Amino acid sequence: MATNSESIKGKISTFTAQITEQVDFMKSRAVVLDAEKEDIDSSIEKLDLSVQTQIDSVNNDVKNVALAYDARITAGCRTLKNWLSAGITTDPDTGVESEAYICIIDSAFTQNKNLHGIKYYQEPHSLNVIDAASGSFIGTVGAGSTVITIMSIAGTGVTSNMKVGNIITCSQSGVFAGATTIVGFSTSVADLSPIGIGSTGDIEVVDTIITSIAVAAAVTATSFTQFSVLGFSTTLSIPPVPMTSNPLIPQAIGIMQTTTSGIGTYIVYDNSGNPSSVQSWNPFLKGIKIKKSVVTEPTVGAGVTIYNIGVTQAPSNGGVEANVGYTTVVTPPGPPPYISLPSCPTQEANLTAALNTLVTSESQLTSGTTSILPRIITSNIFRNLKRKYTLQIWGIRQTLSELYYEQDQLNNSLQYLNDPETNKIIDA
Protein backbone atom coordinates (compact mmCIF):
# COMPACT_ATOMS: atom_id res chain seq x y z
CA MET A 1 0.00 0.00 0.00
CA ALA A 2 1.34 3.41 -1.01
CA THR A 3 2.25 5.84 1.72
CA ASN A 4 0.58 9.24 1.97
CA SER A 5 3.63 11.00 0.54
CA GLU A 6 3.82 8.60 -2.40
CA SER A 7 0.07 8.96 -3.06
CA ILE A 8 0.28 12.76 -2.98
CA LYS A 9 3.34 12.74 -5.26
CA GLY A 10 1.36 10.64 -7.73
CA LYS A 11 -1.54 13.08 -7.67
CA ILE A 12 0.82 16.01 -8.19
CA SER A 13 2.37 14.22 -11.18
CA THR A 14 -1.12 13.61 -12.60
CA PHE A 15 -2.11 17.24 -12.17
CA THR A 16 1.19 18.40 -13.67
CA ALA A 17 0.61 16.23 -16.74
CA GLN A 18 -2.93 17.58 -17.05
CA ILE A 19 -1.68 21.16 -16.87
CA THR A 20 0.93 20.41 -19.53
CA GLU A 21 -1.85 19.10 -21.78
CA GLN A 22 -3.91 22.21 -21.07
CA VAL A 23 -0.95 24.48 -21.87
CA ASP A 24 -0.36 22.69 -25.19
CA PHE A 25 -4.07 22.90 -26.03
CA MET A 26 -4.18 26.61 -25.22
CA LYS A 27 -1.08 27.27 -27.31
CA SER A 28 -2.47 25.37 -30.27
CA ARG A 29 -5.80 27.19 -29.97
CA ALA A 30 -4.01 30.56 -29.95
CA VAL A 31 -2.05 29.58 -33.06
CA VAL A 32 -5.24 28.53 -34.86
CA LEU A 33 -6.99 31.78 -33.91
CA ASP A 34 -3.99 33.75 -35.13
CA ALA A 35 -4.06 31.87 -38.43
CA GLU A 36 -7.81 32.37 -38.85
CA LYS A 37 -7.35 36.14 -38.80
CA GLU A 38 -4.55 36.18 -41.38
CA ASP A 39 -6.90 37.01 -44.26
CA ILE A 40 -8.30 39.88 -42.17
CA ASP A 41 -4.77 41.09 -41.31
CA SER A 42 -3.77 40.95 -44.97
CA SER A 43 -6.87 42.88 -46.08
CA ILE A 44 -6.32 45.57 -43.43
CA GLU A 45 -2.69 46.01 -44.44
CA LYS A 46 -3.58 46.28 -48.14
CA LEU A 47 -6.26 48.91 -47.48
CA ASP A 48 -3.99 50.84 -45.14
CA LEU A 49 -1.11 50.72 -47.58
CA SER A 50 -3.27 52.11 -50.41
CA VAL A 51 -4.39 54.96 -48.14
CA GLN A 52 -0.91 55.62 -46.75
CA THR A 53 0.60 55.65 -50.24
CA GLN A 54 -1.87 58.31 -51.34
CA ILE A 55 -1.27 60.34 -48.18
CA ASP A 56 2.50 60.11 -48.67
CA SER A 57 2.02 61.41 -52.21
CA VAL A 58 -0.03 64.40 -51.01
CA ASN A 59 2.48 65.16 -48.23
CA ASN A 60 5.20 65.04 -50.85
CA ASP A 61 3.24 67.67 -52.81
CA VAL A 62 3.09 69.77 -49.62
CA LYS A 63 6.86 69.51 -49.26
CA ASN A 64 7.34 70.45 -52.91
CA VAL A 65 5.41 73.65 -52.26
CA ALA A 66 7.66 74.31 -49.26
CA LEU A 67 10.70 73.80 -51.48
CA ALA A 68 9.24 76.19 -54.07
CA TYR A 69 8.80 78.86 -51.39
CA ASP A 70 12.38 78.27 -50.24
CA ALA A 71 13.61 78.65 -53.82
CA ARG A 72 12.30 82.23 -53.85
CA ILE A 73 14.28 82.97 -50.69
CA THR A 74 17.41 81.41 -52.18
CA ALA A 75 16.95 83.37 -55.41
CA GLY A 76 16.84 86.61 -53.40
CA CYS A 77 13.37 87.79 -54.46
CA ARG A 78 11.87 87.15 -51.04
CA THR A 79 13.25 87.42 -47.52
CA LEU A 80 12.32 86.35 -44.02
CA LYS A 81 14.32 89.22 -42.49
CA ASN A 82 12.82 92.16 -40.69
CA TRP A 83 13.79 94.92 -38.30
CA LEU A 84 13.12 94.46 -34.59
CA SER A 85 13.11 97.60 -32.44
CA ALA A 86 15.72 97.44 -29.68
CA GLY A 87 14.24 100.50 -27.95
CA ILE A 88 14.40 104.31 -27.96
CA THR A 89 17.22 106.14 -26.21
CA THR A 90 17.71 109.85 -25.39
CA ASP A 91 21.07 111.57 -25.54
CA PRO A 92 21.57 113.07 -22.02
CA ASP A 93 23.49 116.05 -23.42
CA THR A 94 21.37 117.03 -26.42
CA GLY A 95 18.04 115.42 -25.52
CA VAL A 96 17.92 113.96 -29.06
CA GLU A 97 16.05 110.68 -29.30
CA SER A 98 17.15 107.76 -31.48
CA GLU A 99 15.81 104.24 -32.05
CA ALA A 100 17.94 101.11 -32.53
CA TYR A 101 16.87 98.23 -34.76
CA ILE A 102 18.34 94.74 -35.12
CA CYS A 103 17.91 92.52 -38.19
CA ILE A 104 16.12 89.26 -37.36
CA ILE A 105 14.31 86.33 -38.97
CA ASP A 106 10.64 87.20 -38.53
CA SER A 107 8.29 84.23 -37.92
CA ALA A 108 5.44 86.44 -39.15
CA PHE A 109 6.75 85.77 -42.66
CA THR A 110 6.30 81.99 -42.32
CA GLN A 111 3.17 79.85 -42.34
CA ASN A 112 2.38 76.41 -40.93
CA LYS A 113 0.94 73.89 -43.39
CA ASN A 114 -0.68 70.89 -41.71
CA LEU A 115 0.43 67.51 -43.02
CA HIS A 116 -2.00 64.68 -43.69
CA GLY A 117 -1.92 61.41 -41.82
CA ILE A 118 -3.73 58.37 -40.48
CA LYS A 119 -3.98 58.41 -36.71
CA TYR A 120 -4.14 54.98 -35.10
CA TYR A 121 -5.37 53.83 -31.72
CA GLN A 122 -3.49 50.75 -30.55
CA GLU A 123 -4.60 48.54 -27.65
CA PRO A 124 -2.48 45.83 -25.97
CA HIS A 125 -4.58 42.92 -27.23
CA SER A 126 -4.04 43.86 -30.88
CA LEU A 127 -0.26 43.48 -30.78
CA ASN A 128 0.87 40.47 -32.81
CA VAL A 129 2.69 38.02 -30.50
CA ILE A 130 2.40 34.87 -32.62
CA ASP A 131 4.08 34.19 -35.92
CA ALA A 132 3.84 30.47 -36.49
CA ALA A 133 3.12 30.15 -40.22
CA SER A 134 5.26 27.48 -41.89
CA GLY A 135 3.72 27.61 -45.34
CA SER A 136 0.54 27.45 -47.39
CA PHE A 137 -0.55 25.73 -50.58
CA ILE A 138 -3.47 24.82 -52.81
CA GLY A 139 -4.50 21.28 -51.99
CA THR A 140 -7.01 18.55 -52.70
CA VAL A 141 -8.36 15.78 -50.50
CA GLY A 142 -11.23 13.30 -50.59
CA ALA A 143 -13.87 13.10 -47.89
CA GLY A 144 -12.82 10.67 -45.16
CA SER A 145 -9.18 10.67 -46.32
CA THR A 146 -6.10 11.44 -44.25
CA VAL A 147 -3.94 12.28 -47.27
CA ILE A 148 -3.86 15.86 -48.61
CA THR A 149 -2.32 16.36 -52.04
CA ILE A 150 -0.20 19.49 -52.48
CA MET A 151 -0.97 20.84 -55.95
CA SER A 152 2.62 21.70 -56.75
CA ILE A 153 5.50 19.78 -58.29
CA ALA A 154 7.41 17.86 -55.60
CA GLY A 155 10.74 19.27 -54.52
CA THR A 156 9.89 22.95 -55.04
CA GLY A 157 10.28 23.75 -51.33
CA VAL A 158 6.64 23.95 -50.27
CA THR A 159 7.15 21.51 -47.38
CA SER A 160 10.66 22.62 -46.40
CA ASN A 161 9.55 24.36 -43.18
CA MET A 162 6.80 21.87 -42.29
CA LYS A 163 7.26 19.28 -39.56
CA VAL A 164 5.37 16.42 -37.97
CA GLY A 165 3.20 17.90 -35.22
CA ASN A 166 2.44 21.13 -37.09
CA ILE A 167 -1.19 22.20 -37.15
CA ILE A 168 -2.90 22.32 -40.54
CA THR A 169 -5.90 24.52 -41.32
CA CYS A 170 -8.11 25.06 -44.35
CA SER A 171 -9.70 28.18 -45.85
CA GLN A 172 -12.80 26.13 -46.74
CA SER A 173 -15.03 25.71 -43.69
CA GLY A 174 -16.11 22.24 -42.62
CA VAL A 175 -13.09 20.41 -44.02
CA PHE A 176 -11.58 19.55 -40.64
CA ALA A 177 -13.80 18.19 -37.88
CA GLY A 178 -11.35 19.19 -35.17
CA ALA A 179 -7.78 20.23 -34.45
CA THR A 180 -5.69 18.47 -37.08
CA THR A 181 -1.93 17.97 -37.13
CA ILE A 182 0.61 16.51 -39.53
CA VAL A 183 1.68 12.94 -38.74
CA GLY A 184 3.76 12.31 -41.85
CA PHE A 185 4.75 13.18 -45.41
CA SER A 186 4.78 11.18 -48.62
CA THR A 187 4.57 11.62 -52.40
CA SER A 188 2.02 10.74 -55.04
CA VAL A 189 1.14 11.71 -58.61
CA ALA A 190 -1.46 14.20 -59.82
CA ASP A 191 -2.68 16.17 -62.82
CA LEU A 192 -1.89 19.81 -62.01
CA SER A 193 -3.56 21.31 -65.10
CA PRO A 194 -6.74 22.34 -63.18
CA ILE A 195 -4.66 24.97 -61.40
CA GLY A 196 -2.77 26.03 -64.52
CA ILE A 197 0.36 23.86 -64.32
CA GLY A 198 1.09 21.81 -67.44
CA SER A 199 -1.47 20.38 -69.87
CA THR A 200 -4.47 18.16 -69.23
CA GLY A 201 -3.34 14.60 -68.73
CA ASP A 202 0.20 15.48 -67.71
CA ILE A 203 1.03 13.58 -64.53
CA GLU A 204 3.50 15.07 -62.07
CA VAL A 205 5.05 13.78 -58.85
CA VAL A 206 3.62 15.79 -55.94
CA ASP A 207 4.11 15.96 -52.17
CA THR A 208 1.37 14.78 -49.83
CA ILE A 209 0.64 15.40 -46.17
CA ILE A 210 -0.75 12.72 -43.86
CA THR A 211 -3.12 14.12 -41.23
CA SER A 212 -3.94 13.01 -37.71
CA ILE A 213 -7.67 12.74 -38.40
CA ALA A 214 -9.68 12.15 -41.56
CA VAL A 215 -11.16 15.19 -43.25
CA ALA A 216 -14.90 15.74 -43.05
CA ALA A 217 -15.43 17.22 -46.51
CA ALA A 218 -13.78 16.87 -49.91
CA VAL A 219 -11.70 19.63 -51.50
CA THR A 220 -11.30 19.78 -55.28
CA ALA A 221 -8.55 21.43 -57.31
CA THR A 222 -10.91 23.77 -59.12
CA SER A 223 -11.96 25.36 -55.82
CA PHE A 224 -8.39 26.69 -55.35
CA THR A 225 -8.74 26.03 -51.62
CA GLN A 226 -5.81 27.15 -49.47
CA PHE A 227 -4.34 24.99 -46.73
CA SER A 228 -2.04 26.60 -44.18
CA VAL A 229 0.50 24.88 -41.97
CA LEU A 230 1.25 26.43 -38.61
CA GLY A 231 4.62 25.80 -37.01
CA PHE A 232 3.19 24.93 -33.62
CA SER A 233 5.23 22.98 -31.13
CA THR A 234 5.23 22.62 -27.36
CA THR A 235 8.24 24.99 -27.28
CA LEU A 236 6.42 27.79 -29.11
CA SER A 237 6.68 30.94 -27.00
CA ILE A 238 3.35 32.72 -26.45
CA PRO A 239 3.87 35.48 -23.86
CA PRO A 240 1.45 35.09 -20.94
CA VAL A 241 -0.21 38.09 -19.33
CA PRO A 242 -1.56 38.32 -15.76
CA MET A 243 -5.25 37.65 -15.19
CA THR A 244 -5.56 41.20 -13.84
CA SER A 245 -4.17 42.76 -17.03
CA ASN A 246 -6.50 44.90 -19.14
CA PRO A 247 -6.47 44.24 -22.92
CA LEU A 248 -7.58 47.84 -23.58
CA ILE A 249 -5.13 49.80 -21.38
CA PRO A 250 -2.89 51.60 -22.04
CA GLN A 251 -4.05 52.82 -25.41
CA ALA A 252 -1.28 54.18 -27.63
CA ILE A 253 -2.04 56.89 -30.19
CA GLY A 254 0.29 57.57 -33.09
CA ILE A 255 0.55 58.28 -36.79
CA MET A 256 0.75 55.39 -39.23
CA GLN A 257 3.70 55.04 -41.59
CA THR A 258 4.04 52.88 -44.70
CA THR A 259 6.10 50.41 -42.67
CA THR A 260 3.40 50.13 -39.99
CA SER A 261 0.37 49.57 -42.23
CA GLY A 262 -2.21 47.50 -40.37
CA ILE A 263 -1.35 48.87 -36.94
CA GLY A 264 -4.03 49.75 -34.41
CA THR A 265 -7.55 48.74 -33.44
CA TYR A 266 -9.05 51.85 -35.03
CA ILE A 267 -7.82 54.55 -37.44
CA VAL A 268 -8.95 58.05 -38.43
CA TYR A 269 -7.82 60.64 -40.97
CA ASP A 270 -5.87 63.52 -39.39
CA ASN A 271 -4.99 66.99 -40.62
CA SER A 272 -4.85 68.71 -37.21
CA GLY A 273 -1.20 69.76 -37.32
CA ASN A 274 -0.62 68.31 -33.83
CA PRO A 275 2.83 66.78 -33.17
CA SER A 276 3.31 63.21 -34.37
CA SER A 277 4.93 61.66 -31.29
CA VAL A 278 3.31 58.46 -29.99
CA GLN A 279 1.49 58.96 -26.67
CA SER A 280 -0.30 56.54 -24.33
CA TRP A 281 -3.23 57.08 -22.00
CA ASN A 282 -6.18 55.45 -20.26
CA PRO A 283 -9.24 56.26 -22.42
CA PHE A 284 -11.60 55.24 -19.60
CA LEU A 285 -10.45 58.29 -17.63
CA LYS A 286 -11.51 60.73 -20.36
CA GLY A 287 -13.41 63.65 -18.86
CA ILE A 288 -12.48 62.75 -15.27
CA LYS A 289 -10.90 65.48 -13.16
CA ILE A 290 -7.64 64.46 -11.49
CA LYS A 291 -6.43 67.12 -9.08
CA LYS A 292 -6.84 70.34 -11.11
CA SER A 293 -6.85 68.85 -14.61
CA VAL A 294 -9.45 67.03 -16.67
CA VAL A 295 -8.16 64.00 -18.56
CA THR A 296 -8.32 64.51 -22.33
CA GLU A 297 -7.11 62.52 -25.29
CA PRO A 298 -3.42 63.19 -26.08
CA THR A 299 -2.90 65.72 -28.85
CA VAL A 300 -1.39 63.59 -31.60
CA GLY A 301 -1.37 64.51 -35.27
CA ALA A 302 0.58 64.26 -38.49
CA GLY A 303 2.63 67.39 -37.78
CA VAL A 304 3.30 70.43 -39.95
CA THR A 305 5.58 71.71 -42.68
CA ILE A 306 6.81 75.32 -42.60
CA TYR A 307 6.11 77.49 -45.62
CA ASN A 308 8.72 80.28 -45.79
CA ILE A 309 6.46 82.80 -47.52
CA GLY A 310 8.73 85.81 -47.12
CA VAL A 311 8.23 89.43 -48.26
CA THR A 312 9.62 91.59 -51.08
CA GLN A 313 11.09 94.29 -48.77
CA ALA A 314 14.35 93.54 -46.95
CA PRO A 315 16.16 95.42 -44.14
CA SER A 316 18.80 97.63 -45.76
CA ASN A 317 22.46 98.05 -44.88
CA GLY A 318 23.68 100.80 -47.13
CA GLY A 319 21.48 99.74 -50.05
CA VAL A 320 22.07 95.98 -49.76
CA GLU A 321 20.18 93.34 -47.76
CA ALA A 322 21.33 93.40 -44.15
CA ASN A 323 22.62 90.28 -42.44
CA VAL A 324 20.86 88.81 -39.42
CA GLY A 325 22.21 90.52 -36.30
CA TYR A 326 23.11 93.78 -38.04
CA THR A 327 22.04 96.85 -36.03
CA THR A 328 21.08 100.31 -37.30
CA VAL A 329 20.20 103.45 -35.38
CA VAL A 330 17.59 105.91 -36.64
CA THR A 331 17.71 109.52 -35.41
CA PRO A 332 15.16 110.81 -34.70
CA PRO A 333 13.05 107.64 -34.21
CA GLY A 334 11.27 106.67 -37.40
CA PRO A 335 10.93 103.89 -39.96
CA PRO A 336 14.13 101.89 -40.47
CA PRO A 337 15.55 101.54 -44.01
CA TYR A 338 14.31 98.83 -46.41
CA ILE A 339 15.18 97.91 -49.99
CA SER A 340 12.95 96.32 -52.64
CA LEU A 341 14.05 92.87 -53.81
CA PRO A 342 14.22 91.88 -57.48
CA SER A 343 11.63 89.64 -59.15
CA CYS A 344 12.21 85.94 -59.97
CA PRO A 345 9.62 84.84 -62.56
CA THR A 346 10.94 81.27 -62.90
CA GLN A 347 10.66 80.57 -59.19
CA GLU A 348 7.22 82.22 -59.06
CA ALA A 349 6.02 80.00 -61.93
CA ASN A 350 7.38 76.90 -60.21
CA LEU A 351 5.59 77.86 -57.00
CA THR A 352 2.29 78.37 -58.84
CA ALA A 353 2.61 74.95 -60.48
CA ALA A 354 3.41 73.27 -57.14
CA LEU A 355 0.43 74.95 -55.47
CA ASN A 356 -1.91 73.85 -58.29
CA THR A 357 -0.68 70.25 -58.01
CA LEU A 358 -1.28 70.31 -54.25
CA VAL A 359 -4.82 71.67 -54.62
CA THR A 360 -5.66 68.79 -56.95
CA SER A 361 -4.11 66.05 -54.81
CA GLU A 362 -5.65 67.36 -51.57
CA SER A 363 -9.06 67.46 -53.22
CA GLN A 364 -8.71 63.86 -54.39
CA LEU A 365 -7.66 62.78 -50.91
CA THR A 366 -11.05 63.45 -49.33
CA SER A 367 -13.47 63.64 -52.25
CA GLY A 368 -14.12 62.12 -55.63
CA THR A 369 -13.30 58.67 -56.93
CA THR A 370 -9.95 58.42 -55.14
CA SER A 371 -11.27 59.37 -51.69
CA ILE A 372 -9.55 57.57 -48.83
CA LEU A 373 -12.60 57.71 -46.55
CA PRO A 374 -14.38 54.54 -47.83
CA ARG A 375 -11.14 52.59 -47.48
CA ILE A 376 -10.67 53.83 -43.91
CA ILE A 377 -14.23 52.83 -43.03
CA THR A 378 -13.76 49.36 -44.55
CA SER A 379 -10.42 48.93 -42.81
CA ASN A 380 -12.04 49.75 -39.46
CA ILE A 381 -14.80 47.19 -40.13
CA PHE A 382 -12.11 44.58 -40.67
CA ARG A 383 -10.30 45.73 -37.52
CA ASN A 384 -13.50 45.14 -35.57
CA LEU A 385 -13.60 41.58 -36.93
CA LYS A 386 -9.94 41.08 -36.03
CA ARG A 387 -10.71 42.27 -32.50
CA LYS A 388 -12.90 39.19 -31.95
CA TYR A 389 -9.81 37.01 -32.47
CA THR A 390 -7.24 39.12 -30.64
CA LEU A 391 -9.39 39.36 -27.51
CA GLN A 392 -9.70 35.57 -27.47
CA ILE A 393 -5.94 35.23 -27.83
CA TRP A 394 -5.51 37.69 -24.95
CA GLY A 395 -7.80 35.53 -22.82
CA ILE A 396 -5.71 32.48 -23.68
CA ARG A 397 -2.55 34.33 -22.66
CA GLN A 398 -4.19 35.16 -19.33
CA THR A 399 -5.13 31.49 -18.85
CA LEU A 400 -1.57 30.46 -19.69
CA SER A 401 -0.35 32.79 -16.96
CA GLU A 402 -2.48 30.93 -14.40
CA LEU A 403 -1.47 27.52 -15.72
CA TYR A 404 2.23 28.42 -15.53
CA TYR A 405 1.69 29.61 -11.96
CA GLU A 406 0.02 26.30 -11.05
CA GLN A 407 2.91 24.41 -12.66
CA ASP A 408 5.42 26.31 -10.54
CA GLN A 409 3.40 25.67 -7.38
CA LEU A 410 3.19 21.93 -8.06
CA ASN A 411 6.90 21.74 -8.87
CA ASN A 412 7.72 23.56 -5.64
CA SER A 413 5.52 21.22 -3.63
CA LEU A 414 7.39 18.23 -5.03
CA GLN A 415 10.63 19.69 -3.70
CA TYR A 416 9.21 19.74 -0.20
CA LEU A 417 7.82 16.21 -0.54
CA ASN A 418 11.30 14.98 -1.41
CA ASP A 419 12.46 16.01 2.06
CA PRO A 420 12.72 12.85 4.24
CA GLU A 421 11.71 14.66 7.42
CA THR A 422 8.56 16.00 5.77
CA ASN A 423 7.69 12.54 4.44
CA LYS A 424 8.22 11.02 7.90
CA ILE A 425 5.64 13.37 9.39
CA ILE A 426 3.11 12.80 6.58
CA ASP A 427 3.47 9.03 6.60
CA ALA A 428 3.37 8.62 10.40
Least confident of 6-15, 75-84, 249-258: 6-15
What is the chain's alpha carbon radius of gyration, rounded to the nearest angstrom?
35
Nearest to 34 by CA among 381, 399, 396: 396
Q: Which residue, 283, 298, 297, is CA-closest to 124?
A: 283
Give dist(CA 12, CA 41) in Å, integer. 42
Q: What is the mean pLDDT of residues 199-207?
A: 84
Domain boundaries, given as residue ranges, for the chain: 133-230
Residue 406 DSSP SS3: helix
Residue 256's pLDDT band, with cuts at 50, 70 and 90, is: very high
Residue 311's pLDDT band, with cuts at 50, 70 and 90, is: very high
Q: In the structure, what pLDDT confidence band is assigned to residue 248 with cuts at 50, 70 and 90?
A: very high
Greater model confidence, 333 or 133 = 333
- pLDDT exceeds cutoff 60 at 391: yes
Distance CA(330)–CA(97), nearest Å, equals: 9
Higher pLDDT, 132 or 157: 157
pLDDT in tens, 56-72: 999 999 999 999 999 99
Top-confidence residue, 136 or 225? 225
The pLDDT assigned to 385 comes to: 96
**Mean of pLDDT over the chain:** 88
Cβ-Cβ contacts under 8 Å for 59 (sequence gap 6 or more): 115, 116, 117, 302, 305
Cα–Cα separations (whole angstroms), residue 325 to 75, 103, 176, 310, 315: 21, 5, 79, 18, 11
114 vs 227: CA distance, rounded Å = 46
- What is the mean predicted confidence (pLDDT) over 357-362? 95
Q: pLDDT per residue over 214-241, tens digit each? A: 999 999 887 778 787 876 555 567 778 8
CA pair distance 389, 395, nearest whole angstrom: 10
Q: What is the pLDDT of residues 269-299, one digit of tens each?
A: 999 999 888 888 889 989 998 777 788 888 8
Closest by Cα among 97, 100, 96 to 87: 100
